[in-house]
Structure 1
Amino acid sequence: MTGIALEQKNLKTGLFAFAGALAMLGMGYAAVPLYDLFCRVTGFGGTTQQATEADADLAERMALSAGGKSISIRFDASIARDVPWTFTPERSTETVQIGQRDLAFYIARNDSKVPITGTATFNVEPEQAGIYFNKIQCFCFTEQTLQPGEEVRMPVLFYVDPAIMQDENTKDIEQITLSYTFHKSENSAEKPAS
């Protein structure tokens, strides 16, 4: 093999390796959004569903024909270690009628001397109920900035889809736990308030 042919072969191999590295980098960036999409569609890992008012209206009509079955909802709240907040549900449990909209509140207070921006992650237990737990409005959809000492009530408007009673894996569930954890946002500017 001549020197030029070997040089061309090395260049070709190097270009393939570079293209492969770029493809892997692209897959790395795409993995998180694709996994998030997968979880939202399937309810995997207790991921709840996001619903519209029209979806809730349909669920309420379905619930009327389903006999008014109720289910207990337990509310859980926690914070990451680097978030100096107090975060609790206003009520720890409540019984809701399946298919009916319900409004729950969480209370958050910034216990630090600087503004903190946080983002809430959430899940539902048992995991198989996640696909039937629908949030219409939630503080978890946006970042929350609390000023030093500020306390806020944050609403969650939700319903449990009546289809939960038709699924062999979920029809006997008596309680669903909605759990939130606040994490410090990457955009959190921890500078003293002026």
Structure 2
Amino acid sequence: MINRLSPNTKTASLAALLAASMVGLGFAAVPLYDLFCRVTGFGGTTQRYDPVAAAAAPQVLSTTISVRFDSNVSPGLPWKFYPEHPRDTVAIGARDMAIFIAENQSARPVVGTASFNVTPTQAGKYFTKIQCFCFTEQRLEPGQQMRMPVLFFVDPKILDDPDARDVQEITLSYTFHPVDEGKKAS
């Protein structure tokens, strides 16, 4: 004998299944969006150089591109933060280094972390960071000044992308945020 469910029970079961699926999708959305941005460069997300995954160093071209460096400090972080040189011209494919300077202007130790993006956004997937202060939290003692490097290159594939090949200037922008030392930064 087959046990048949009433139409109301079927509807309630489907609604419960749909609600559980939506909750699961909500928890998966942030990591999936982060992965999507890292793979596609969406929203100006830069790439992070992985020497194991890289088959070879990119070819250095004679074509150059201007890179502008922007720095910001969020409210509540008593730091002065700025690029040593606000603009650089780099050969596409060549490694380059920019130095940012941070200074704690308070009388207490302060920990900060940097968020970043690249504009125009279509250039994000071609801007690759090899080493960056933004990969870790930075702690500055009272009055301490620190020089922080970012080592990067612009992938020559930018010239093959119809949406990005006419880009003549890329802006790398950082914003430092305070980190509550009682909590870990995500």
TM-score (norm 2): 0.83
- Report whether the alignment pairs 1:150 with 2:149: no
* Percent identical residues: 55
Aligned alpha-carbon RMSD (Å): 2.7
Query: What do residues 164-188 of structure 1 show as CA deviations (whole Å, max 9, x unaligned)?
Result: 1111111111110000001112x43
Are the counterparts in 2 of residues 56 and 99 from structure 1 also a CA contact under 8 Å?
Answer: no
Aligned counterpart, 2:4: none
Whether the 8 Å CA contact 1:79–1:181 is kept in 2: the answer is: yes
Give 5+ residue unaligned stretches, structure 1. 1-8, 190-194
Q: Given that residues 78 and 182 in structure 1 are in contact (C-alpha distance below 8 angstroms), is that contact kept between their aligned partners in structure 2?
A: yes
Q: SS at 1:107's partner residue?
A: strand
Judge which range, 82-91 or 21-30, deviates more.
21-30
Question: Match for residue 5 of structure 1?
Answer: none
The alignment status of 1:90 with 2:84, answered yes or no, reads yes
Taking the TM superposition and a 5 Å limit, the aligned residue runs for 1:18-33 are 23-33=21-31
Counterpart mapping for 1:5-154 below 5 A: 17=16, 23-53=21-51, 55=54, 57-59=56-58, 62-63=59-60, 66=61, 68-154=62-148
1:146–1:30 CA distance, 2 compared to 1 (3 A): farther
Separation (CA, whole Å) in 1 of partners of 2:38 and 2:63: 25
SS for the counterpart of 2:57 is helix
* Residue identity matched to 2:113: T
1:188 partner amino acid: E
For 2:104 and 2:98, the matched residues in 1 are separated by 20
CA distance in 2, matches of 1:181, 1:106: 12
Which secondary structure does the structure 2 equivalent of 1:156 belong to? Answer: strand
Q: SS at the partner of 2:76?
A: coil
Contact 1:56 1:159 (8 Å CA) reproduced:
no
Q: TM-score, normalised by structure 1?
A: 0.80
Of the structure 1 ranges 108-117 and 155-164, higher mean CA displacement relative to structure 2 is found in 108-117
Query: Quick one: distance in 1 between partners of 2:97 and 2:25?
Result: 39
Counterpart-to-counterpart distance in 2, 1:39 and 1:156: 20
